[in-house]
Amino acid sequence: MSELTRLTACAAVDLLRRGKVSPLEMIDAAVARIEATDGQVNALPTLCIERAREHAKRLTGAGAAAQTEVSLLAGLPIAVKDLKDVAGVRTTYGSPIFADHVPERSDIVVETLEDNGAIVLAKSNTPEFGHGANTFNEVFGKTRNPWNTAMTCGGSSGGAAVALATGQVWLATGSDLGCSLRTPAAFCSVVGLRPAPGRVARGPLRAPYDNLWVEGPMARTVADAALMLDAQVGAHPADPISLPAPGRPFMDAVESPEAPKRIAYSPDLGGIVPVANEVAEVCAAAAARFSELGADVEEACPDLSDARAIFHVLRAYQLVSDLAPLLDGHRDVMKPEVVWNIEQGLKLTADDLGRAERARGALYYRVAEFFETYDLLISPATIVPPFDVDIRHVTEVEGHTLDTYFDWYAIAYAITITSCPAISVPCGFTADGLPVGLQLVGAPRGEAALLGSAALFEEMMGIAQGLPVDPRPGAPVGHAREKV
């Protein structure tokens, strides 16, 4: 069983396709690993083992075996973030408002993955409605970082990242508005890919035209992330911004990668954010190694100076579109940061929104022009290493005070505004043994080239070979001290 949980998703799917292992055996291996580790990290608070076993039996029943042999995931158990509905399975969105919610229909994301051979085994923990980059909520409590269980795993796809890092599952869904695929990936030494808006269909939604947040894959390796992305993509009539699947699978780009030729590295995205010194040092050393692939690496960045102001407006508007109807009846039980952010959105004027949209358009054109010169933009994925799990959010970095609960991940949300695909890949560790991630940003809708470059970097660094890890108890470390 332990040998199965150590497999990459690609290796596990290969065994499943060839009939060397069954989906039921994979479920049993995952359940055993969850039982051995989850009490220490709280990554997967909701299990649906019987549903998974029934699904596995359907996949291996008479007439189904041939389909399994060619399906993309071939009966591989996965975890689904608790923001996404799974039919017949408790889905809370991390909120006490929906603590007993059991949907009748699965989200499009889940349906697509199941159509491609995935088996949903568990729901992964998330902050309330996915807002905030530290995974805790009033329904299931805190999720802890397996590299040091006194520290946060980041968020909002924190449970997913921890489940992968500890070997509980081979693949996991995540979503990303400001940082939610990239920050937990960086904090847990796994891979999180934020694709372009529309690349992965989702819904039904209260605001289906929203293009700030996206669904994407989380995995232990870049190849595994590419495999999952291939199982997620495709247009869907219920998602008005969804894109057709590309003609060439993303796995092709990983199996035959092309090295980038010219790379821009920025330690702070042109000075828009402070970065902890140790994180900056680890990331700078990692970025320089791209020269070993024959790439020219130089310090450069598109003008992102107004990204923070744009995001503040558009994020508040997004919260109003999605969550404002809940305020009247549930304000007293909603996360105070979310209530504040919705209230900020309700104060916006049409002029505020118009100026933000115009500024975002101008920013996009600057970034698109930038990628006519550079193949990649590289930066730290986070500005701090994992911090004390009891701290709600970072308020200060290297003497700089941060104004809101989400400004500490501006290095990620500035890229959200561009709509460019971005991936967090492990690049090293702090002196305290805490993971550090590097953010690689590709050209608009350039996921294939991005994945190829990330795969070459991953192979050069050799960090992925250290997963999965057993949870490691420890004391809080790091720069952040004040508990909120």
Backbone Cα Rg of the chain:
21
Residue 370, CA distances (Å) to 351, 375, 423 in order: 29, 9, 18
Measured from the Cβ of residue 236, the count of other Cβ atoms closer than 10 Å reads 16
Residue 392, CA distances (Å) to 53, 126, 337 in order: 37, 13, 10
Q: Which residue has the tokens 């970082």?
A: 145
Which is the catalytic residue, given 71, 95, 124, 156?
156
Q: Return the ∠ at Cα 37 (arms to 455 and 85), rounded to 5°.
A: 70
Q: Which residue has the tokens 């959200």?
A: 416
CA distance 390 to 141: 11
φ, ψ of residue 211 in degrees (nearest 5) = -120, 15
CA distance 153 to 161: 8
CA distance 193 to 185: 9
CA distance 16 to 26: 9
The H-assigned helical ranges of 42-80 are 49-60, 65-70
Residue 44, CA distances (Å) to 79, 147, 155 in order: 8, 17, 14
Is 95 tagged catalytic? no
CA distance 422 to 441: 4
Cβ neighbors of 99 (< 8 A, separation 6 or more) are 92, 139
Is 291 tagged catalytic? no
> Smallest Cα–Cα separation from 393: which of 189, 179, 135, 42?
135
Residue 424, CA distances (Å) to 100, 279, 289 in order: 34, 14, 16
Which is the catalytic residue, given 106, 157, 180, 424?
180
Which is the catalytic residue, given 71, 81, 157, 379?
81
Residue 17, CA distances (Å) to 9, 55, 65, 209, 418 in order: 12, 16, 9, 37, 39
Judge whether 136 and 43 are in contact, CB under 8 Å: no
Is 261 tagged catalytic? no
Q: Pairing between strand 136-137 and 262-265?
A: unpaired
Q: Which two tokens stand for residue 20?
A: 């060397």
Q: Output the CA torsion sign for 175, 441, 457, 257.
A: positive
Measured from the Cβ of residue 410, the count of other Cβ atoms closer than 10 Å reads 25
Judge whether 262 and 255 are in contact, CB under 8 Å: no
Q: Which residues are catalytic?
A: 81, 156, 180
